[in-house]
Structure 1
Amino acid sequence: MTAFLASSWRLLRRFLTALAGLAALVLVIAWMSGWFRAKVPPGEVEREKTTLTGRKWAYSQVVRTTESVDAVGTVEPRRKTIVAGQILATISRISVHAGDPVTKGQQLVELDDRELQARLREAEAAVAASGADLVTREHDFQRYKMMYEEKAVSKEDYDKFRGAYDVA
């Protein structure tokens, strides 16, 4: 029986809490709709008569003004020109700016050529090394050719050095 009373008491508490919340909501709605304020009685209310005594008068006149309009938008050109480089490099100086007129052959930008100069020196060094390798292989081939003619080396060794010389 005690368990029945405890569960009944909990159910009653929940019901009363919900009822109190609902009552509070009804009171807030009634207050916001003006139930607790004095109302204007029906009928006509007499207005105060206003006079223009003691007031300054201003006359109207036509004034011409310039009208300015601010707008947000995108300005797009009639023609678009794409400028692209044949090489990938860092731009070190820009000679023209947006909207400047340009002519054929005019320098638009100056590229940083340090990387290109380094690549050129690297390629020149590779050519020099390749030339030195060619000279070495040619000497080896000539030496093995003489030794082959004197039957001092085998045909296989001679062919190996001849192939290396032809590749170089």
Structure 2
Amino acid sequence: MQRQILLRTAAALALVAVAGGIAACKRDEAVAREPTPPRVQVDRVTFQPSETARTFVGVVQPRYETDLGFRVAGKVVERPVNVGDPVRKGDLVARLDTTDLRLQVESTEAELAAATSSLAQAAADERRYAGLRSSGFAAAADYDRKKAARDEAEGRAKRARRSLELARNQLEYGELRASADGVVTAAPVEAGQVVAIGQAVVRVAQTIEREALVALPETWLADAPAASAVVRLWSQDVRPYRASLRELSPQADPATRTYAARFRIEEAGPEAAFGMTATVTLTRQEQVAAAQVPLSAIVNRGAGPHVYVVDPRTETLLERPVTVATFGSRTAAVTDGLSDGETIVTLGVQKLEAGRKVRPLPLR
């Protein structure tokens, strides 16, 4: 009996030992299967005052540029101006063949003469029948017919006068004259060409105001109206011109994703020729602190720019949304979302995810 008890005890101890060995093996396998935290390159966030001024390249353009066209159709017989010629208000820039227009004037003059003669005859008949009616020698119906004939003759004469005025106006429209002082920038029509009503014959740029046209990125869209602007010509970089924002496009260009802005150049004279290269320097009124973050540290999966911050206690990743003021060739200026001194991952962020444990490389 005692021998059986000893055998059972030995068997139980053996089972416990085997079970412990199996559990230890499983723990070793679990440890072996647990992935090693990856090594990541990190950098420390440092906020510094961002740039308050930036220069944009543009071109000098006129404030007003008008396409001049005839108000009547016809054949161009003369165009005394060429591209680059200065013109004064009222100068002749093109002329049509006015033969048909003159004939129209002569025709309406003849119609007016006939209408005037008919009106005189109808008025005389009306006065005569008025006297006969008062004497009792004419019926009232006859007088009414004469009065109606006189009224109709008056309407025809008035219509003839208006037709003559229109014909004379069209004869004047046969000469195209400059509407303001300026310079000819385009002349797409040559003498001998038949033009339609309103077709552009000469383009005149007024010289009273000159502007610099530049393309602004979206990061300067909010600061441009309040920023101070200075314009310099590439041909003479010594003299700066004061400038003010006159027009800012509300829609970005679909190709460049920039916004067209026009800056009026103060006190610009003929030295600022149209088409010259100009640089517009914008200076922000307020200085904003920004951290220069490598572009490789920013990830955007459709919800805006984010960066991965390394928790200094657990060495796990925290996904943090950030506000980017400007994008450079290698870095981006982050103005919000990070704190000074935090550690962020700067390489391989596309393969990481929030909550993952990492092993940061030593800071350089």
If the TM-score is normalised by the length of the shorter chain, which range does it land in? 0.3 to 0.5
Give the TM-score taking structure 1 as reference length: 0.47
Give the TM-score taking structure 2 as reference length: 0.23
Structure number with the higher helix fraction is 1
Structure number with the higher strand fraction is 2
